[in-house]
Chains A and B, each alone.
Chain A
């Protein structure tokens, strides 16, 4: 039997029962489409979270006071958090740690901000000019904090775009205006560029002021809530992390790493943690979709078994006119594979459209990966083989005499 004839016979057999074929395919279509769409959503979430974390800065190491608190530490080490990091620590790192390119100490805390009628409660970050390079903050209008302003503890503020909008609306230029942070007047000197604020902390809802100003007028002491470090290059991250940890342990007179009163976080650790979370999420979604695929496969098997029974006499005839068992089973296997194959193609198309639709209308980032398409295709073909095998075997094993007599 030629392959072309096999395909033609298969097409003919399936087209006789069009409605039934379409309904059977539907199970596979839904299964594949949901696998594609849900993986796309999971992958999209992962990508957007990763790029969010990367937008914090490149080759970044964060030092937090107190004990590890996972990814959310930034938020929870405000008032009441351990006050173990000092400006002297930051200076020591800058002078002694050779692998560190830049150091940005910060003292941040939430305050009530007012401008005329409007007010907001947001994170006020007291820091130095190096912060803009270390944490990848770019200024859209005006300028960032300067060395001179830090030295003189000037009451100037740089607003994040969201904060600017909250206080001034979209039209008014805030430059030169005076806002009140904790009832102390600050002059606005700049607005930063948006980083696409979403994820675990909004990078756009912040106010930057000179570190010395915070220490003198707002916090009233010299402790730091975190130190951001930029490492020279990607390869030195681990070594730099060890170097900084060693230096701080020595400075704080602690011999055991486990008792450290600070916490050194590597940016890639944060990415890895976030990735593992989204990965689990993606796997969860995909396995739910996988179940519907399995159900679709069972539907295929059900239809093929019915077909074999219905066409018993035809099978008998085919055997009588010289069809071998292998050729008969190949024919039925080809039918189920063609069903799942078509289901796979339509499933991929619909899944793709679904993913694009979700991306567009629900504004959830989606990313269709080639891998998931190839995988879906292979899985649907495999389902055809697995669930078509048993019915095909049954057809091949029929005794031609009995099959011809079957009523």
Chain B
């Protein structure tokens, strides 16, 4: 489902060139729960941006669902993100002063789905991540960190994407609520969703089925743990 072939990414400044990814190749099958792990500066964030179709590689090719991403325009990339990818961020990125339901149904605003159906889909997604119905009409900034991140996960699910990309989803949470969020991912994985988890913590990566270790822009180890 995901296939990366010899991907490089070079950031060019006026004077300097910075090669962040130096030829990365791997495949991820449908339904896998993969952690991409590496210290900061290893290039894992850059890899996430490429996998999330937020950016395109300098060279190499990235196939998502058999579609070559490198050749797409900005609008086409947006279309890919809308249909195939759900994002979960470290800092949640919820709209403050908007209700939970509104936050979760936000991605559907950019589709032609009717308002009623949007709300229904949002409710289903929120049930999947285990948020109590009593919170649905709360404003997002009234929730706890763990609740916020689960709302963010529900938002990532609402488009029914092929994969969920989570960038340090527990980075702003304490260990206990972090565990809850990671269990949510594990549960979603059991339901057959593809999940890619980017993290620098081995503790977090341990929850995945497979860990891709990355360091200095190269894959150092690709291990299956479950």
- From B24-32, B34-42, B104-112, B186-194, give the one contacting chain A: B104-112
Residue pair A12, B110 in contact (C-beta under 8 Å): no
Residue pair A320, B110 in contact (C-beta under 8 Å): no
Per the bound structure, the CA–CA distance linking A320 and B109 in Å amounts to: 13
Let me know if B82 is at the binding interface, CB within 8 A: yes
Residue pair B81, A322 in contact (C-beta under 8 Å): yes
Let me know if A116 is at the binding interface, CB within 8 A: no
Given known contacts A322-B107, A324-B75, A325-B74, A317 and B93 CB-to-CB distance under 8 angstroms: yes
* Closest residue of B by beta carbon distance from A5: B109
Residue pair A321, B110 in contact (C-beta under 8 Å): yes
Q: How many pairs, one residue from A and one from B, have CB atoms within 8 Å of each other in the complex?
A: 62
Residue pair A322, B54 in contact (C-beta under 8 Å): no
Residue pair B95, A323 in contact (C-beta under 8 Å): no
| Count, chain A residues at interface, CB 8 A | 24
Residue pair B93, A316 in contact (C-beta under 8 Å): yes
Chain A residues contacting B75 (CB-CB under 8 Å) are 324-326
Residue pair A324, B78 in contact (C-beta under 8 Å): yes
Chain A residues contacting B97 (CB-CB under 8 Å) are 16
Let me know if A313 is at the binding interface, CB within 8 A: yes
Interface SS of chain A: helix
- Interface residues in A194-247 by Cβ distance below 8 A to B read none
Q: From the candidates A16, A316, A322, name the one contacting B82 in the complex (CB within 8 A).
A: A322
Chain B proximity mask over A376-407: 1 for CB below 8 Å, otherwise 0: 00000000000000000000000011001000
Q: From the candidates B74, B106, B112, B115, name the one contacting A321 in the complex (CB within 8 A).
A: B106
- Interface residues in B104-125 by Cβ distance below 8 A to A read 106-107, 109-110, 112, 115
- Interface residues in B64-110 by Cβ distance below 8 A to A read 74-75, 78-79, 81-83, 87, 89, 93, 95, 97-98, 102, 106-107, 109-110
Chain B residues contacting A327 (CB-CB under 8 Å) are 110
Per the bound structure, the CA–CA distance linking A313 and B107 in Å amounts to: 15
Per the bound structure, the CA–CA distance linking A316 and B95 in Å amounts to: 12
Residue pair A1, B109 in contact (C-beta under 8 Å): yes
Residue pair B87, A320 in contact (C-beta under 8 Å): yes
Residue pair B109, A9 in contact (C-beta under 8 Å): yes
Per the bound structure, the CA–CA distance linking A16 and B96 in Å amounts to: 9
Q: From the candidates B54, B82, B109, name the one contacting A400 in the complex (CB within 8 A).
A: B54
Given known contacts A325-B74, A325-B75, A2 and B112 CB-to-CB distance under 8 angstroms: yes
Residue pair B81, A321 in contact (C-beta under 8 Å): yes
Let me know if A314 is at the binding interface, CB within 8 A: yes
Q: From the candidates A12, A318, A325, A401, name the one contacting B54 in the complex (CB within 8 A).
A: A401
- Interface residues in A75-107 by Cβ distance below 8 A to B read none
Chain B nearest CB from A6 CB (Å) reads 9
Per the bound structure, the CA–CA distance linking A326 and B79 in Å amounts to: 12
Residue pair A321, B82 in contact (C-beta under 8 Å): yes
Residue pair B110, A401 in contact (C-beta under 8 Å): no
Chain B nearest CB from A339 CB (Å) reads 19
Chain B proximity mask over A1-31: 1 for CB below 8 Å, otherwise 0: 1101100010010001000000000000000
Chain A residues contacting B110 (CB-CB under 8 Å) are 1, 318, 321-324, 327
Let me know if A319 is at the binding interface, CB within 8 A: yes
Per the bound structure, the CA–CA distance linking A2 and B117 in Å amounts to: 14
Residue pair A319, B78 in contact (C-beta under 8 Å): yes
Let me know if B55 is at the binding interface, CB within 8 A: yes
Chain A residues contacting B89 (CB-CB under 8 Å) are 317, 404
Per the bound structure, the CA–CA distance linking A320 and B107 in Å amounts to: 9
Per the bound structure, the CA–CA distance linking A16 and B140 in Å amounts to: 14
Per the bound structure, the CA–CA distance linking A326 and B75 in Å amounts to: 9
Chain B residues contacting A404 (CB-CB under 8 Å) are 89, 93
Chain B nearest CB from A169 CB (Å) reads 72
* Closest residue of A by beta carbon distance from B93: A317
Chain B nearest CB from A398 CB (Å) reads 11
Per the bound structure, the CA–CA distance linking A400 and B75 in Å amounts to: 12
Per the bound structure, the CA–CA distance linking A319 and B110 in Å amounts to: 10
* Closest residue of B by beta carbon distance from A311: B95
Residue pair B52, A322 in contact (C-beta under 8 Å): no
Let me know if B155 is at the binding interface, CB within 8 A: yes
Residue pair A313, B93 in contact (C-beta under 8 Å): yes
Chain B nearest CB from A60 CB (Å) reads 68
Let me know if B49 is at the binding interface, CB within 8 A: yes
Per the bound structure, the CA–CA distance linking A62 and B102 in Å amounts to: 76
Chain B residues contacting A2 (CB-CB under 8 Å) are 112
Chain B proximity mask over A26-68: 1 for CB below 8 Å, otherwise 0: 0000000000000000000000000000000000000000000
Chain B proximity mask over A308-351: 1 for CB below 8 Å, otherwise 0: 00000110111111111111000000000000000000000000
Q: Which 3 A-B pairs have the closest CB atoms?
A: A322-B82, A321-B107, A317-B93
11 A-B pairs with CB atoms under 8 Å apart are A4-B115, A317-B89, A317-B93, A319-B78, A319-B81, A321-B107, A322-B159, A323-B82, A401-B49, A401-B55, A404-B93
Told that A325-B75, A400-B54 touch, could you supply 10 new A-B pairs with CB distance under 8 A? A2-B112, A316-B93, A320-B52, A321-B110, A322-B78, A322-B82, A322-B110, A323-B110, A401-B49, A404-B89
